[in-house]
Each structure stands twice: as structure tokens, then as C-alpha cells.
Amino acid sequence: MTKIQTDMLPHALEQIAARHKFFSPGQAIDSLIGPSLHQHRSEFQFRAVEDLLREAAVLLDRSAAERQVKQELEEKLLFFWLDQYKNEEILRSKDEQIAAGEHSIAGRIAEHEELMHRAAAVISELQVSKNNEAAEQRKPEDQHYQRRVDLNSRVTSLSAHQNTGAVQAASADLTRLQMEQELLSAEASVYAAGIGREIHQSNETISRIRKDFSFSNAVQLDRQHDAEKKYSSDRRILAETPGSALNYIERLEEVQRLFEEDIVAAYKRCVAAQRGLEAVFGIRIPLPNVDERPITELVLWLRRAVEVMSELTDREQSLYYSFAATQILEGDELQALRDGRRARFSINREDLLENRLIRVIGVAAEVSTDRIDEEWPIQFHLPSVAAVIYNDGSSAAISQDDIGIIYVSSCPNPSAKIRRDCENGSRTFRNACPLGQWSLQIGRSNLGRSPSAISDVFVHLKLNMVT
């Protein structure tokens, strides 16, 4: 991690947290809603335990998937904004460096080098010129050459006492030899100065090319920097634009809403299922503490509940219990039924062979009259207080006042409808205990006839029980 990242990390996390109310570094994402789950009351019918557990499982599975999506989006949000803050800090630093001449300094240096090499080339040119003059003066045809030879000869002859002519000749030869050596030295200096001039001219050309490139490149570097700044600005704008794919905060909030709705719905069903397990099946599995890890705790609770229910239903049987109203209703009650009033009858444990955990799954009715094209509305009231026999043989009286009225109807071809009604009983009364006092009431038929036209009513119950 670079120093820029280290210095800006706390500030970046603070800014992210300020933008995203659900983000809290180091905290499990589902723990933000855990403490508030207790505030949600469950209004579900608690008896349909199997349905509640299935629905809770689906909702928790969806919540876990949403939590995973939320974690992935949160990771992208963190990387995006940390990278954004780092880039913005680097760009601000780059602005200061550019203002200090980072992009132009190479061109300015090359420009000064060009001037230096130009001046050096001029100096070398002067050196060549002066060395050429010196070389010309040392050539035999030059008047300076002759004057020096003459002067050296005359000076030498003045000091000679004898053989003056020979001395002059020797002095002249010596001078000529010296002049030839000086000529060679002067010509070498001319050559060296010429090479130096060529080098400085080449360096001047190189410096000019580098200067031109550096100034041109500085323009391109400025354009690149401006493009980087625009890219960073556009990224920030997109990240704060509603509906943008880069608006991770908005996407997180959408997922959070779905997540909260699903986990609240799952919690409500778990609450109802826990109550149903205890009231209907006599199984006590307390709900866990969901403050810290609601999904994990609820999933573990759900697995335990499903396992217990699986063990129980593994020993369960289903049967159809049918009876005729004329057989089960006494005289006054049978008359009340034909008068359109509520007729009461009872189902006792002995009627169902002392089985345990006897539960209603579905209710259907068949009316016997002299017509086959007539349909009758029928109402059932289950026992308001039922004596539940649990799997361990213990019993408890539970209230069933909340179930209300069960509405069914007869039809001209009852066999298929009876099975359908029994198989698809309402969640309102599913798993209700049938032991106790029932009531039955029939209204006028679709042809307008009163229940007095009925000769008998056949009641069909689908029951589940543990034998």
C-alpha cells in the first residue's frame, strides 16, 4: 500500500460510510438489521408449519444470495472509492508538479543546451579561423614566413665572428624547420577545432530536436493529464448518477431493501412456525438470538426444525374420515341443519382409533338431494377448544377460535371436487385438531331451495396422524 493510500484510507472509509448508511467497516452486513427483527410481529397462521418452514427456507436462501450480492457490491464500492480517492490525490499532486514545470523542464533544459552548443560552435569556428591564419603565416610563400627567416638569419650573423655566410644559412635552415613544425601543429589545431565545431553543431541540432520534442511532448502530457482528470471526474459523476451501473451506493441500497424485506419475512414465518411446532406438535425449539448473525442463526434453527419434522412425518399416515350427517347428528341437531341453522356434532379420539397428532388437512362435503344439478354453500366451524394428543402421549387443550369459518360447497359431480378440497385445504385450518365439537350449517342452493330439501350430507375429512 502506498503512502498516499495509507494517509487517505481513514478519510476514504469515512466518506464512504457517510455516503452509504448501511456500510460499516468490520461489521457483518446482516447484523445491522438483527437487533430490529424482534420488533416485527408475525400475523401468520401458525398451524401450517410445513408451509411456513418451506417459505422461510426459500426466503432465507434468497436473503443469503442477496447478502452475497451485497458483499460483492460493497467490495466493489470500497475498491472503487479507494481507487477514486487515490487517483484524485495523485492528480492534485500532479497539478502541483506540472505547475512547478515537470512537463516543460526537459524542453527548457534542451533549449539552454542548444544555446550552449551554438555558442561553442561559434567559438570553435573562431578557433578554426585563427588557427588557419597561424598556419598560413607558417607557409613558405607567406611574407611573414620570409621575414622571420630573414630576421633570424640577420640576428645570428651579428653574433658570428667568422664564416658569416655559413652561419646565416644554418640559421635560416633551422628557422625553416621550426616553421614546418609549427605549421604541422597549426594544421592539427585547425583540424581539431574543425572537429570540435562539427561536434558542437551536431549537439546543437540534437538539442534543438530534443527541445522541439520536449515542448511538443509537454503539450501531449498536459492533454493526457487533462484526460485523466476528466476520466476521474466522469467516474465520480457516474458513481453519483441515479441508475448508473457505477452507482454502487444506489445498487447497495436496492439490494439492502430486498435483503431486509426477505429476512424480515423469513423471521416472521420462523416465529409462526416455532409457535406452531409447540402448539400443534408439542415440539419446543426456541428461536435463537438473531442480533449478531440473523441469517446464520435462523438457517441453523430452520435446519433443526426441518430435521425434527422429517423424523416426525416419517411415522405419519394420512386417511380420509367420512361420515353422514344423519348418522352423527342427533334429532334436534339434524332438524337444525335442515332449518338452515347451525348443527353441532363431536369427533372423539375413540372415533379415530386412539391415534396421536391427529390433524385436519382438508374438508369436503357431498349433499344428497333429488337433483343432480344443484350446488349448496356449506359452513364448518372447527372445535373452538381442541384436545391435542402429542406424540409422547401427553395432551393439551388449545384454542382454535382464530380459525374462523371453513367454507366449502357441494357440486353435481362431487367425487373429483371432494378429493381436490381435501388435498388443498386452506392454511387457515390446516393442522387444526379435529377432536371436539364441530358445527355445520347449510345455506340456500343455487336454485334457491332451502336445506329442508336435503336428505343427507356426507362430510369428508382428510387427516394426518401418527399411529
Return the beta strands (E) in 369-448 as ranges.
377-381, 385-389, 395-399, 405-409, 436-442
Nearest-angstrom CA–CA distance, 385 and 109: 101
Q: pLDDT band at 161, cuts 50/70/90?
A: low
- The answer to whether 448 and 355 have CB atoms below 8 angstroms apart is no
Closest by Cα among 253, 265, 463 to 357: 463
C-alpha cell at 228: 485523466
| pLDDT given for residue 8 in this prediction | 44
Q: What is the pTM of this model?
A: 0.67
| pLDDT given for residue 320 in this prediction | 87
For the ranges 22-36, 58-72, 166-180, 193-207, the one whose mean pLDDT is highest: 58-72
pLDDT at 387 over 80: yes
Nearest-angstrom CA–CA distance, 143 and 136: 10
- The answer to whether 359 and 276 have CB atoms below 8 angstroms apart is no
Nearest-angstrom CA–CA distance, 43 and 269: 9
62 vs 98: which has the higher pLDDT: 62
pLDDT at 27 over 60: no
- The answer to whether 244 and 37 have CB atoms below 8 angstroms apart is no
- The answer to whether 395 and 309 have CB atoms below 8 angstroms apart is no
Q: What is the pLDDT of residues 390-436, one digit of tens each?
A: 888 888 888 888 888 888 877 655 565 556 656 555 777 888 999 99
The stretch 22-28 carries a mean pLDDT of 47
Q: What is the pLDDT of residues 340-362, one digit of tens each?
A: 999 999 998 888 877 888 999 88
Nearest-angstrom CA–CA distance, 368 and 374: 10
Q: pLDDT band at 25, cuts 50/70/90?
A: very low
3-state secondary structure of 439: strand
- The answer to whether 338 and 347 have CB atoms below 8 angstroms apart is no
Compute, in degrees rounded to 10, the torsion defined by CA atoms 238, 241, 245, 249. Answer: 110
| pLDDT given for residue 9 in this prediction | 47
CB environment 105-119: b (16+ within 10 A), e (fewer):
ebbeebbebbeebbe
Q: pLDDT band at 26, cuts 50/70/90?
A: very low
| pLDDT given for residue 180 in this prediction | 66
Q: What is the pLDDT of residues 89-141, one digit of tens each?
A: 888 888 888 888 777 777 777 777 777 877 777 777 777 777 676 666 666 66
pLDDT at 35 over 80: no
The stretch 292-302 carries a mean pLDDT of 89
- Label residue 147 exposed, middle or buried (CB < 10 Å: 0-12, 13-18, 19+): exposed
| pLDDT given for residue 264 in this prediction | 87
Residue 284 C-beta-side C-alpha neighbours within 13 Å: 1
Q: Tell me the average pLDDT of the chain.
A: 80
Q: What is the DSSP string of 317-335?
A: EEEEEEEEHHHHS-HHHHH
Nearest-angstrom CA–CA distance, 151 and 155: 6
| pLDDT given for residue 22 in this prediction | 47
| pLDDT given for residue 373 in this prediction | 82
| pLDDT given for residue 403 in this prediction | 86
Contacts of 445 (CB under 8 A, 6+ apart): 369, 374, 375, 376, 377, 453
CB environment 269-297: b (16+ within 10 A), e (fewer):
bbbbbbbbbbbbbbbebebbebeebbbeb
Rg (CA), the chain: 54
Q: pLDDT band at 377, cuts 50/70/90?
A: very high
- Percent of all residues in the chain with a pLDDT value above 90, rounded to a whole number: 21
Nearest-angstrom CA–CA distance, 90 and 117: 38
Beta bridge partners of 405: 381
